[in-house]
Amino acid sequence: MATTMNCAACGANLTPNEQAVKMAYCQADLERAFRFVQDPADWKAPIDCYVRFPSADALTLIEAAVQHFTATPAEVEPVGEGVYRVRAAGYRAGPAGDR
């Protein structure tokens, strides 16, 4: 019997496709989170940005989004004053990249 899985952020039922690739979040939440950290001109570029006052849940979601869209792990480093630096090699430099 298939079990229904829910998005860890918004609670929506995950689609069969989302479950098939073992996503913990729905596509919409991952896209929203990725937009915070991606290079606005080139989403395949390396990621290096600062996020201000994220919750622990938001950081977990951002890490999942970076892994999902770039196939490279995010490195999250607190730099003080509620600010976190988020870095990743990015899609192009990662194993899924079109070099």
Q: How far is the CB of 36 from Zn ion (least distance, A)?
A: 15
- The residue (of 42 and 57) whose beta carbon lies closer to Zn ion is 57
The number of residues that bind Zn ion (CB under 5 A) is 6
User: What is residue 49's DSSP assignment?
Assistant: E
For 72-99, the DSSP string reads S--EEEEEETTEEEEEE--TTTSTT---
Q: Does 63 bind Zn ion (CB under 5 A)?
A: no
Q: Which residues, 18 to 47, sit near Zn ion by CB under 5 A? A: 26, 29
Coil, helix or strand at residue 4: coil
Residue nearest to Zn ion (CB): 7
Cα distance between residue 79 and residue 48, in whole Å: 13
Give the residues lining the site for Zn ion (CB under 5 A): 7, 9-10, 12, 26, 29
